[in-house]
A and B are shown apart, each in its own frame.
Chain A
Amino acid sequence: MATLEAVQYKSRTRTLVTVFTTIFLIVYLIWTLAPFLIMFVSSFKDLLEAFTLPEIGDFAGMGVFFEFTPTTKHYTELFTERNFSVYFINSVIVSTGSALVSVVLGAMAAYALSRIDFKGKDHVFFWIISTRMAPVVAVMVPLYAIFRNLDLVGTIPGLILAYTTFNLPFAIWILKGFFDNVPYAIEEAAMVDGRTRFGAFMEILPLAAPGIGAFIVLCILFSWNDFLFASIIGSGGAKTLPVATRELVTPTSIQWGKIMAAGVITSLPMTLLGLLIRKYLVTGLTMGAVKE
């Protein structure tokens, strides 16, 4: 059996490559994590303190950045004056709702595409993913017209539907790979054991669980972070966190402290969710991709 370890021999180039890779990764880490750090720290600062910065090149003065009296007033104001609890709940309902609808319909469609041979199956399969090829902006105007005529603009079901149109093709594509990897004989065994055709499908669902779990998370992430759909189709009654955050920029003032706090509120749940299911996410996504 071959090991997964790549064989490497020492040489001057090798050492140089290692040094440069390490430097690159350090810079990259600062580049990606610094904004989060600044956002997090600033959300506890008063406006004046938030803009107290050291001179350019004055690395010794970096300490200024951490000299402040912590305040939670931005957070309390968001929830007391700005209805953020409502927007937070909206975000949760819309993203999980769309994920659940997509996964239920997607699993059934993917299963059918995986198990049944019918004429033009390849075309149907391609057509499903082709709906994701157009940029969202391109379909926004017609979609808005349709949703307005159906009175779905500004409603939570409307927003769930909008996200589902984008999540469903993705669900079908990811989940089909998982069902392809489940031997059909297991379903046959289930049917002989006394299950109906649908019962046999339910019996093998746990085998696709890593895929379903990974997919639900990706769906939630997409809907949770989305701004475009939320601002156009959800505007009014179904405001989500990103849209509410945008509204903190008013013609008269930019409320930096609240924007930072809102950023923390928006990104924290997803970070925690990501850490929680990190293991499944990786196995889930690779398992479907690699045929055994």
Chain B
Amino acid sequence: MASISIKSVWKYYGDTPAVKDLNLECLDGEFVCILGPSGCGKSSTMRMLAGLEHITAGDILFNDKRINDLPPKDRNLAMVFENYALYPHKSVYDNMANALKIQKVDKATIDKKVKWAAELLELSPLLDRKPLELSGGQKQRCAIGRAIVREPELFLFDEPIAHLDAKLRAHMRSELKIMQRRLKTTMIYVTHDQLEALSMADRIAVMRDGVLQQVGTPSEIYNQPANQWVAGFIGEPAMNFLDCSLTESNGHLHLSHNAFSFALNAEHIAKLNGSAKEHSQVHMGIRPEHVTISARATPEHPIKGEVLVTELLGGDLLVEANVNDTRVTIKTDPDYIADMGDTCYLGMDTSRWHLFERESGVSLI
């Protein structure tokens, strides 16, 4: 198995930079997701790892060995492509056996390995079929089979389940995770779907416009986003952002919005560590599940608002409310009944909020 280390890697297409000064470590046997919107450089990164694109500057090391100038065939990795890229003229069996045939592995071993992979992926009855005769999920499993029979040092998965329907995708998420844990092969998985990244990865690397934003465990990324962009990108429905400023009165630092004002406690001030001064313009970020809603004003629900719309999502209810011309999304349980235009009162879990500098988006708390 391999540990991967990407050191100050740049990728230019002509004059356009796609990946800017990327530094990323991936431990032996780790499942790392590279997450970002389209055009963020995640696929370019993967293609550089595979050897399908030249590295403009910087180094990529596999087990401390520089692989920049190795052709793909000498990197001992297997890749699953977004569009599967199966050989249309070969059967499922031959698609999976191809890499081993190229390595001149003897027939009995090839047969054993292909049958093992087919068993694992429930492809055994389909081995004689051509890719054209397979459904999307079967094609995808065949592509994964082609990767795992080789027992490579590194798996590269490029949005492999993006084209499956929602139910199958959810199933494949857990399957892939189980498979990776069982094989203990280092895996780099590129996706734009935060749900895939949060549910499968050991660590997530979030990228935007070719720049790495944050690397961390799913819970770190979700609970302690490094900046406002990551906070807004991760989480569904997205985090609420409210224009606030820091003010001081009676010797206490307050977070003031045009609809409310909270005194910051000692813990908040310690976290701020003097980085935000009085009158600083900030964004307060709070996830919809950390906002509570009530029809009546109570000490826990001091902020007055107006219901704009409600959306029932089965087990949850989303309420969109207008608080002094700021839209706030609240995730609550479906027992809450409200009509458009009703007055509502909101409460915020002050231990779960985030503060971001308004100009730079850097996380303060």
When A195-B73, A196-B71 are in contact, do A188 and B89 touch as well, CB less than 8 Å?
no
Q: Which of B50-101 contact A (CB under 8 A)?
A: 50-52, 71-73, 77-79, 81, 83, 85-89, 98-99
CB pair B98–A185 under 8 Å, yes or no, is no
In the complex, A186 has a CB within 8 A of chain B: yes
Per-position contact with B for A199-234: 1 when CB-CB < 8 Å, else 0? Answer: 100010011000000000000000000000000000
Chain A's closest residue to B76 (CB) is A194
Since A188-B52, A194-B102, A199-B102 are in contact, a sample of 17 more A-B pairs with Cβ atoms closer than 8 Å, ordered by chain A residue number, is A183-B85, A188-B79, A189-B85, A189-B86, A191-B51, A191-B71, A192-B50, A192-B78, A192-B79, A193-B99, A193-B146, A193-B150, A194-B73, A194-B99, A194-B103, A196-B71, A207-B89
Query: How far is it, in angstroms, between the C-alpha of A193 and the C-alpha of B52 when the chains are bound?
Result: 12
CB pair B83–A185 under 8 Å, yes or no, is yes
Could you name 15 residue pairs across A and B whose Cβ atoms are closer than 8 Å? A185-B81, A185-B83, A188-B72, A189-B146, A190-B98, A192-B51, A192-B78, A192-B79, A193-B150, A194-B102, A194-B103, A195-B102, A196-B73, A197-B71, A199-B102
Query: How far is it, in angstroms, between the C-alpha of A199 and the C-alpha of B102 when the chains are bound?
Result: 10
Residues of A within 8 A of B83 (CB): 183, 185
In order of increasing CB-CB distance, the 3 nearest A-B pairs are: A185-B85, A193-B99, A189-B85
Residues of B within 8 A of A185 (CB): 81, 83, 85
CB pair A203–B87 under 8 Å, yes or no, is yes
Query: How far is it, in angstroms, between the C-alpha of A188 and the C-alpha of B49 when the chains are bound?
Result: 13
Chain A's closest residue to B82 (CB) is A185
Does more than half of chain A's interface fall in helix, strand or loop, or is it mixed? helix
When A185-B85, A188-B52, A207-B89 are in contact, do A193 and B102 touch as well, CB less than 8 Å?
yes
CB pair B71–A207 under 8 Å, yes or no, is no
Per-position contact with B for A153-193: 1 when CB-CB < 8 Å, else 0? Answer: 00000000000000000000000000000010110111111
Residues of B within 8 A of A197 (CB): 71
Per-position contact with B for A98-124: 1 when CB-CB < 8 Å, else 0? Answer: 000000000000000000000000000
Residues of B within 8 A of A192 (CB): 50-52, 72-73, 77-79
**How many residue pairs at the A-B interface have CB separations less than 8 Å?**
56
Query: How far is it, in angstroms, between the C-alpha of A196 and the C-alpha of B87 when the chains are bound?
Result: 16
Chain A's closest residue to B77 (CB) is A192
Query: How far is it, in angstroms, between the C-alpha of A203 and the C-alpha of B98 when the chains are bound?
Result: 10
CB pair A206–B85 under 8 Å, yes or no, is no
Per-position contact with A for B273-301: 1 when CB-CB < 8 Å, else 0? Answer: 00000000000000000000000000000
Residues of A within 8 A of B102 (CB): 193-195, 199
Query: How far is it, in angstroms, between the C-alpha of A191 and the C-alpha of B51 when the chains are bound?
Result: 9
Q: Which of B26-53 contact A (CB under 8 A)?
A: 50-52
Q: For the complex formed, measure the closest distance between the CB of B169 and the CB atoms of chain A, giving whole angstroms.
A: 21
Chain A's closest residue to B143 (CB) is A189
Residues of A within 8 A of B50 (CB): 188, 192
Q: Which of A190, A194, A206, A207 lies at the interface centre, i.e. has the most chain B CB atoms within 10 A of its CB?
A: A194
Query: How far is it, in angstroms, between the C-alpha of A191 and the C-alpha of B72 when the chains are bound?
Result: 6
Query: How far is it, in angstroms, between the C-alpha of A192 and the C-alpha of B73 when the chains are bound?
Result: 5
A188 in complex: contacting residue of B77, B81, B88, B98, CB < 8 Å: B81
Chain B's closest residue to A185 (CB) is B85
CB pair A189–B81 under 8 Å, yes or no, is yes
When A193-B146, A196-B73 are in contact, do A188 and B85 touch as well, CB less than 8 Å?
yes
Chain B's closest residue to A186 (CB) is B85
Chain A's closest residue to B158 (CB) is A185
Per-position contact with A for B188-210: 1 when CB-CB < 8 Å, else 0? Answer: 00000000000000000000000
Residues of B within 8 A of A206 (CB): 89
Residues of A within 8 A of B81 (CB): 185, 188-189
Query: How far is it, in angstroms, between the C-alpha of A188 and the C-alpha of B103 when the chains are bound?
Result: 17
Query: How far is it, in angstroms, between the C-alpha of A196 and the C-alpha of B72 when the chains are bound?
Result: 8
Query: How far is it, in angstroms, between the C-alpha of A254 and the C-alpha of B50 when the chains are bound?
Result: 71
B87 in complex: contacting residue of A186, A191, A199, CB < 8 Å: A186
